[in-house]
Amino acid sequence: MANTPKVSVIVPVYNAERCLRKCLESIINQTLEDIEIICVDDGSEDSSPDILREYEKKDPRLYVITQENTSAGMARNAGLDRAGGEYLSFLDADDYFEPGMLDAAYTACVKARADVCVYRCDMFDDETGSVYPGDWALKREYLPKREPFDYRAFRRHVFQAFAGWAWDKLFRRDFIIEHKLRFQHLRTTNDMFFVFAALVQAERVITLDAVYAHQRKRLPDSLSVTREGSWDCFLHALNELEVFLHGQGKYQELKRAFFNYALHFSLWNLNTLNGGAHVKLHDALKNNYFIKWGLLDCPEDYFYSKDEYGQLKRLMEMPFDLYIIDSMNRYRQKYEFLKNQIEALGVKPADEAGEALNAVMNSVSFKIGRAVTYLPRKAMRFFGVS
């Protein structure tokens, strides 16, 4: 292998024994062989360290860093400090790549002299095995036809065109170092700031219209499932992004895009949290963040989604108990509508026509509506619903 590998793949690992081998195999078996693989064990308490050492002995391209448990963000930073490749790739230990991903992305980046490359991904349900597309993670309709491009070519949707995670992207290492980009020390949402700070500063962004990354969903012990313990992490990430935009002198230029993303991401988090975390986030948004960001100073046509603007108004104007009842009723109605659509299709998720069905069944509206429809009486009483 050359002194400077073409790509450094950085994998933060924490208690990932059940999925780790598939993840590592997907990297080791890449058709692009001139790579280094940096695995950062973030204080795992299961057999993950043993698995990592096993693979380290088998493949000289793989290097293991061990640290006390901090966060995936700090683990990625440790990998960044060790990485020497021309480009950087990040993969979570419960996900995996297509075999030709690094070859395709690296080749495209070199040809275009790209700072960032974004490719498509999909999601697979760990419980059911169902696979559904992640089309919302790369929204072609928001992007210019000519590539490469920079943020000015899609400034209205700079925070909406791509997902704020790092594992479906390739980054030029010198670009990351030049702009001193680091991951945040947060339990969750620790890569959102890194990604959007990179996209706002990148001069040459390209995309690949092929699915190269697969994200595993509904792992029982994953951080995305246990967000109740870190319900405010995304707020810290949004705050850091706002401060960054001011520091770059780009806040006024990207204010509308930031406001719409902040509202969308806040409502998504609120709508998918349960119990006490839901109440805490509701109060934080109503009494602090929506006011601090200035969302209430903007007219309705400033927002891209009338539904999200409507929820913002109801949240700010209604007492909590009435807001919850109203939200439940709305999700009941959406759920029944989507359920009728599914029944009318007459297909199963595994059928050829089931891709659209999977998208519906995995939508926030359908999931919350289903939960609300079958909400236990105890929970109904907690929210004051009879």
Residue 221's contacts (CB-CB under 8 Å, 6 or more residues apart) are 15
Pairing assessment for the beta strands 7-13 and 131-133 based on DSSP bridges:
unpaired
Same domain for 280 and 323, yes or no, is no
Same domain for 215 and 276, yes or no, is no
Pick from 222, 219, 226, 339: nearest CA to 272: 226
Q: For the chain, give the mean pLDDT.
A: 88
**Is 1 a member of any domain?**
no
Tell me how many helices (H) and strands (E) the chain has: 15, 9
Mean pLDDT in residue range 152-168: 96
**Is 43 a member of any domain?**
yes
**Of residues 196 and 378, which shows the higher confidence score?**
196
Is residue 1 pLDDT above 50, yes or no? Answer: no
Same domain for 368 and 338, yes or no, is yes
Same domain for 288 and 241, yes or no, is yes
**Is 168 a member of any domain?**
yes
**Band of residue 223 on the pLDDT scale cut at 50, 70, 90:** very low
**Is 2 a member of any domain?**
no
Same domain for 204 and 235, yes or no, is no
User: How many degrees, rounded to 5, is the angle at CA 133 between CA 129 and CA 137?
Assistant: 130
**Band of residue 358 on the pLDDT scale cut at 50, 70, 90:** low
Domain C-terminal end among 207, 225, 243: 225
Q: The domain that contains 45 carries what CATH number?
A: 3.90.550.10
Same domain for 60 and 177, yes or no, is yes
Domain C-terminal end among 225, 250, 265: 225
**Is 309 a member of any domain?**
no
Mean pLDDT in residue range 164-175: 97
This prediction's pTM = 0.87
CA distance 271 to 284: 14
Q: Which domain holds residue 137?
A: 7-225
Name which of 163-172, 191-200, 224-233, 304-313 the model is least confident about.
224-233
The pLDDT score that the predictor gives to residue 385 is 43
Pick from 30, 85, 77, 98: nearest CA to 191: 77
Asked whether the beta carbons of 59 and 36 are under 8 A apart, the reply is no
**Band of residue 81 on the pLDDT scale cut at 50, 70, 90:** very high
CA distance 238 to 232: 10
The pLDDT score that the predictor gives to residue 192 is 97
CA distance 78 to 270: 32
Domain C-terminal end among 190, 207, 225: 225
Same domain for 278 and 367, yes or no, is no
The pLDDT score that the predictor gives to residue 295 is 96
Is residue 340 pLDDT above 90, yes or no? Answer: no
Residue 350's contacts (CB-CB under 8 Å, 6 or more residues apart) are 130
Same domain for 121 and 243, yes or no, is no
Asked whether the beta carbons of 156 and 69 are under 8 A apart, the reply is no
**Is 313 a member of any domain?**
no
Residue 351's contacts (CB-CB under 8 Å, 6 or more residues apart) are 357
Is residue 287 pLDDT above 70, yes or no? Answer: yes
Same domain for 103 and 202, yes or no, is yes
Is residue 157 pLDDT above 90, yes or no? Answer: yes
What residue type is assigned to position 346 of the chain?
A: G
Same domain for 187 and 289, yes or no, is no
- In the chain, the number of structural domains is 3
**Is 255 a member of any domain?**
yes
Mean pLDDT in residue range 253-280: 93
Q: What is the pLDDT of residues 24-64, one digit of tens each?
A: 999 999 999 999 999 999 999 999 999 999 999 999 999 99
Residue 227's contacts (CB-CB under 8 Å, 6 or more residues apart) are 188, 233, 269, 272, 273, 277
Same domain for 181 and 40, yes or no, is yes
CA contacts within 13 A on the Cβ side of 35: 28
pLDDT over 90 percentage in the chain: 72
The dihedral through the CA atoms of 224, 227, 231, 233 has a sign that is negative
The pLDDT score that the predictor gives to residue 317 is 95
**Is 123 a member of any domain?**
yes
The pLDDT score that the predictor gives to residue 319 is 92
Same domain for 322 and 254, yes or no, is no
